[in-house]
């Protein structure tokens, strides 16, 4: 089974993050890295983004349980 690649505008839409925040978090190793699609084009694997979102939800809910 293949994996779909999405572009930055879709990543922004799915995560609610701005492009600058996405690239900052990639630099800090807190966000999935992009996949090089060509000289001036990158994308992200949908599975990586969905996994990142799932992790954020879990972390958020675990923090609320502690409070």
Burial class (CB in 10 A: 0-12, 13-18, 19+), 45: middle
Beta bridge partners of 42: 36
Total residues found in the chain within this entry: 67
**CA angle centred on 42, ends 39 and 46, rounded to 5°:** 155
CA distances (Å), origin 66, targets 25, 52, 61, 62, 63: 25, 21, 9, 7, 5
Q: Computed over its alpha carbons, how large is the radius of gyration of the chain?
A: 13
pTM for this one? 0.86
8-60 pLDDT, tens digit per residue, is 999 999 999 999 999 999 999 999 999 999 999 999 999 999 999 999 999 88
């Amino acid at each position: 089974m293949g994996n779909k690649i999405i572009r930055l505008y879709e990543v922004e839409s799915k995560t609610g993050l701005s492009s600058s925040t996405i690239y900052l978090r990639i630099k800090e190793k807190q966000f999935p890295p992009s996949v090089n699609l060509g000289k001036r084009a990158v994308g992200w694997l949908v599975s990586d983004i969905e996994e990142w979102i799932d992790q954020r939800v879990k972390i958020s809910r675990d923090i609320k349980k502690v409070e």
